[in-house]
Structure 1
Amino acid sequence: MVAPNPRPAPVRGGLARPWWRDLPGWLLLWTLAAAVFVGTCSERRALHETSPQARAALFQRTWEHFHALCEGTGGRDFLSRCREQAHFLREFPECEVDCRARLEPWR
């Protein structure tokens, strides 16, 4: 008669970790995501709460800077900066259809 194979003893802990060990990492990740989201929304809100005259002046200065830096011959040298400026310019209510069309290559 063949002896039955003994069952292996269960390994305590094994490969699985308790959920509470990952909790601090998840909380940190969600906190950082919330901070980024709030920062993005506050920039847009601040822009729209600015007086129309001040916002128009800021738009004009930013547009001139963008035009000189990015639409000239050396625009590709400052690719990341030009993309940031284009994204910022799109947030202005003053940036209408023609403005958005000129900013499209910088998406």
Structure 2
Amino acid sequence: MADLVVVMGLGHLVGADGNEWYNFWSGLGADVGQVALFGAAIGLYRKHNCHVHRCWRIAKQQVEGTTWMVCHKHHPDGKPTEAHMTALAEKKRAADAGSSVTLTD
């Protein structure tokens, strides 16, 4: 009899003693979604984090010639200026214009 009381007490603790698991999803089961959201936030932070070990900053700049994303502090060229970005954009436009190929029948 004491074992039955313990089992029923555990069922009540996790919320499994209600109408078709209603209490579970209203109580302890609701935390499953919260843990999933917290895990997703950590995953997004780690994906967009600076590639340098132990740097907590958000990476916004790609290192040329690699797939690494780094923050402005660890970028080899430093924090880009507006003039630097304009020069890179013009260089890219010129390269794209020079390599355009027209297809003929």
Structure with more relative contact order (C-alpha pairs < 8 Å, separation 6 or more): 1
TM-score by length of 2: 0.30
